[in-house]
Amino acid sequence: MKIGILKETQKGERRVCISPIIAKQLIEKGFEVLVEEDAGVNSSFKNSDYEKIGATVEIRGVVFKEANVLVKINPFDEEDLKLIDSSHILMSQLFHKSHPELIKAIAEKGATAFSMDAMPRISRAQDMDVLSSQSNLAGYKAVILGAYEMTKIFPLMMTAAGTITPSRVLVYGVGVAGLQAIATAKRLGAVVEATDIRMETKEQTESLGAKFISVDNTGEEKAEGGYAKAASEDYARRQKEAVNKSLFQADLVITTAMVPGRKSPILITEDQIKQMKNGAVIIDLAAAQGGNVELSKLNKTVIKHGVKIIGTTISPESVSTNASDLYGKNMLNFLKHLTKDNEFIWDLEEEITDETLIVHNGKIRKNGKTE
């Protein structure tokens, strides 16, 4: 079986789906690996790094022609689809619930496609979960970016000239990204608070030394498979009331709340921003899905009412070397799970396969069945 590693073409993307060290492990397991020329350059991996471990570096067209399995991080685009045929098995974050037109186009090509963002949140799938591995780094980087953009330092500091009080950090959403943001901000010495609709995250927040802002979630839909549900208008109102005091005192705010297949919920309105501290910084990690902050714009910095709002994504492109290694390890584990003796098993009843297999031989699957 030939695995094709494709170069990412999405603007701003610096990662590669499989790093040389992971490609080496695939080769050791009997897979052949083809790498699109310069696929790893933006992650500090040279073409020669892949060639040294036994992979073959080819131009784009050759990889599409010869590889059985095509791997990317971001969804396949129109240019990719021109080179895809019924012999291909595609693997990437397809975000299929938000991109039905892409799924239809893949099906029309007769191809098969796995969506890595559809990985079930179960214990035996943890080492294949790209959302978790990438969000973990994104949470860390959000704090580092915030620290750079702030005009204050994080820790308490006692000097001969006086005492500097610690910065206050508020985190919305205690998922993987939120937990890492909390841990990183605490390590840097900040006073950290966090809030989430999922009350089960209270213990996790407090275990990291942060204060959890509780909001009664009676009557709210329970999270399924570890993913957050959209909150009701009543809950959103009560959350604002509970969090406002902390929000208005915060020096740095990080928002991470996303609901799969839906626009990100607005957690911070312009009216709230008007009441925040002058010089406060907001890092909106949900900007790619509309944003948690009313004024945020993807990949832009907006300064309004004395507050700096930075719209970014949960994808940690700026730490692309580490992110590529982790994503690649997820892919290695996923391929090992799906295959035996380097051939696909196609156990459609098995939960991980069932959840991630979106298109099978040109047929779109829904609710574990092929239409």
Catalytic residue, chosen from 10, 25, 38, 121, is 121
Check the CA dihedral 58-60-61-66 and report its sign. Answer: positive
| Cα 331–Cα 333–Cα 335 angle in degrees, nearest 5 | 65
Alpha-carbon distance of 151 to 158, in angstroms, equals 18
Length of the chain in residues, anyone?
371
Catalytic residue, chosen from 49, 129, 196, 251, is 129
Catalytic residue flag (residue 126): yes
**The pairing of beta strand 339-340 with beta strand 162-164:** unpaired
* Residue 69, both tokens: 């399995």
- What crossing angle do the helices spanning 176-187 and 130-149 adopt, rounded to 10°? 40
- The gap between the terminal CA atoms of the chain, to the nearest Å, is 27
Catalytic residue, chosen from 92, 115, 132, 204, is 132
Catalytic residue flag (residue 123): no
Catalytic residue, chosen from 87, 126, 207, 214, is 126
Catalytic residue flag (residue 93): no
Residue-wise DSSP of 52-67:
HTT-EEE-HHHHHHH-
* Residue 220, both tokens: 């709210």
Residue-wise DSSP of 113-127:
EEEGGG----GGGGG
Catalytic residue flag (residue 318): no
Q: How much of the chain is in helix, strand and coil states, percent to nearest 5?
A: 35, 20, 40
Catalytic residue flag (residue 227): yes
Residues classed as catalytic: 121, 126, 129, 132, 227
